[in-house]
Amino acid sequence: MQTELNIVILAAGKGTRMVSDLPKVLHPLAGKPLLFHVVDTARKLNPSRLLVVYGHGGDALPNAFAQRGPTSPHGSKEIIWVQQEQQLGTGHALQQTLPDLNENGFTLVLFGDVPLISEETLRALLNIKPGEVGLLTVTLPDPAGYGRIVRDAQGRVKAIVEHKDASDAERAILEINTGIMALPTRELKQWLATLRNDNAQGEYYLTDVVALAVKDGKTVSTCHPCRQSEVLGVNGAAQLAQLERLYQHEIAASLMEQGVRLTDPARIDVRGELTCGRDVAIDANCIFEGRVDLGDNVTVGANCILRDVSVATGTRIAPFSLIEQAQIGADGRIGPFARIRPGTVLAAEVHIGNFVELKNSQVDCGSKINHLSYVGDTTVGKNVNIGAGTITCNYDGVNKHRTVIEDDAFVGSDTQLVAPVTVGRGATIGAGSTITKDAPADELTLSRSAQVTVKGWKQRARNIKRRRG
């Protein structure tokens, strides 16, 4: 590969068949826009210049990258944005980049709607001699709609003919052009200057430079992708869904090669980065978003969603739990039907049970919140038991306040802790209490009125329809 490498990603198309106001290349695949996938792969090749040609959608593309921040791996740093105001073909799109191309070495052309292309395939394509042209081609049983690779009697590439311009004999060719190519930049500039649009589409085809290269005596080398799925593009929602399943299948296969036990490899979605330790088991219909780390011997039950979460060794997450932006300690028990919201940190051996919601709370070792409770903006000490139906009332309508429950405290069921408030070490809160003042350590605190029976009280009459027997 040459030292100097320009990479140009063509992403100016409207994507009419997506039937969406969102530019096609910003539609998500595995939780990440199509174009982000291509840019990430391109950066692995360490190009001297990385250019993205955009058009439809205005500044939506550069803005999407800018929102990731300058330090993000998907940020806009070092991307040269080139606008194609009129969409007059792929050759015209590349013409817009000419002032920004480094003339030494090669220019690699990629497409923003072909997200599965791999670094391995591209390195093979770039394994050409100075001055040569490299084409990525595949052979299809039904090549309708694709440009055909036309070879001479010796099998050498002499041209690419688009389907609409092809003769019957050329349409019988099964080898097609993927559009991905590597071209010597100095010569590319000359070839682009001579392109014509006298074809069925009235466009300037980048593929026409192949015939120009042959005319100039250049060798045109071809190679095939490692997997044919790498060159599949997205034109509509159905194709996007097809690529999603292909991508998820590859992720599932990779996880199982690492020893992860998947109940059903067809029913897992990784929309980010998932890392797993040894003896991890994941049940069906789980979704992992952002960065998720699962330690050794972690079990994730069916229908769970984990988003930007780390889970330490030995923890079991029961079905239908939602955990986001949280840290889960070792040997814990979560769920079923638990919701753990951002800012929550659970230490080792913590139990969070069914229909419990935590937000921005820290729970220390051995504590249990097993049933039907909301604990928000709270610091919970060691070996605390919080009974069913407990609520920390953290919001006064204007500001959030914090609750502190110290080590070994016992909070009875159906308790409201009105923040800011502290429950002291070893304190017991009687069931059914509303606590508005600090509860002292090692004491029983409760707030209940005496039970009263009102004699003679009658319910208001209700309109009840009775069944006939």
Q: Which residues of 259-288 are buried (b: 16+ CB within 10 A; e: fewer)?
A: ebebeebebbbbbbebebbeebbbbebbbb
Is the domain of 89 the same as that of 160?
yes
Which structural domain, as residue segments, surrounds residue 94? 5-231
What is the tens place of the pLDDT at every residue in 208-232?
999 999 999 999 999 999 999 999 9
Percent of the chain with pLDDT over 70: 96
Instruction: Report the pLDDT averaged over residues 143-156.
Output: 91
Is the domain of 282 the same as that of 175?
no
Which pLDDT belongs to residue 201? 83
Is the domain of 213 the same as that of 242?
no
Which pLDDT belongs to residue 15? 80
Residues 234 and 242: beta-carbon distance below 8 Å: no
Is 454 within the bounds of a domain? no
Helix (H), strand (E) counts: the chain: 8, 37
Q: Give the CATH number, domain containing residue 290.
A: 2.160.10.10
Task: Check pLDDT > 70 for residue 1.
Answer: no
Is the domain of 286 the same as that of 352?
yes
Is 452 within the bounds of a domain? no
Which pLDDT belongs to residue 104? 87
Q: Give the pLDDT band of residue 465 (cuts 50, 70, 90).
A: low
Is the domain of 96 the same as that of 188?
yes
Residues 353 and 371: beta-carbon distance below 8 Å: yes
Is 358 within the bounds of a domain? yes
> How many C-beta neighbours within 10 Å does residue 233 have?
16
Task: Check pLDDT > 50 for residue 340.
Answer: yes
Please say which residue of 206, 231, 256 terminates a domain: 231
Spatial CA neighbour of 188 closest among 17, 19, 314, 6: 6
Residues 8 and 92: beta-carbon distance below 8 Å: no
Whether the link from the prior residue into 336 is cis, omega within 30° of 0, is yes
Task: Check pLDDT > 50 for residue 42.
Answer: yes
What is the tens place of the pLDDT at every residue in 283-311?
999 999 999 999 999 999 999 999 999 99
Catalytically annotated residues:
371
Is the domain of 248 the same as that of 227?
no
Is 93 within the bounds of a domain? yes
Is 311 within the bounds of a domain? yes
Spatial CA neighbour of 448 closest among 436, 428, 429, 432: 432
Is the domain of 57 the same as that of 177?
yes
Is the domain of 291 the same as that of 274?
yes
- Residue with the larger pLDDT of the pair 333 and 207: 333
Task: Check pLDDT > 80 for residue 320.
Answer: yes
Which pLDDT belongs to residue 444? 95
Is the domain of 121 the same as that of 252?
no
Is the domain of 218 the same as that of 285?
no
Strand residues in 218-280 grouped as ranges (E): 220-223, 261-262, 268-276
Is 160 within the bounds of a domain? yes
Q: Give the pLDDT band of residue 462 (cuts 50, 70, 90).
A: low
Is the domain of 225 the same as that of 242?
no
Q: Which amino acid, residue 340?
A: I
Instruction: Report the pLDDT averaged over residues 434-445.
Output: 95
Task: Check pLDDT > 90 for residue 151.
Answer: yes
Is 458 within the bounds of a domain? no
What is the tens place of the pLDDT at every residue in 94-118?
999 999 999 888 999 999 999 999 9
β-pairing, 385-386 with 322-328?
unpaired
Is the domain of 140 the same as that of 188?
yes
Number of domains forming the structure of the chain: 2
What are the angstrom distances between the C-alpha of 286 and each of 61, 140, 272, 354?
30, 35, 13, 18
Which pLDDT belongs to residue 464? 57
Is 88 within the bounds of a domain? yes
How much is the mean pLDDT over the chain? 92
Q: Give the CATH number, domain containing residue 225.
A: 3.90.550.10
What is the tens place of the pLDDT at every residue in 43-79?
999 999 999 999 877 789 989 988 875 545 555 558 9
Which pLDDT belongs to residue 68? 72
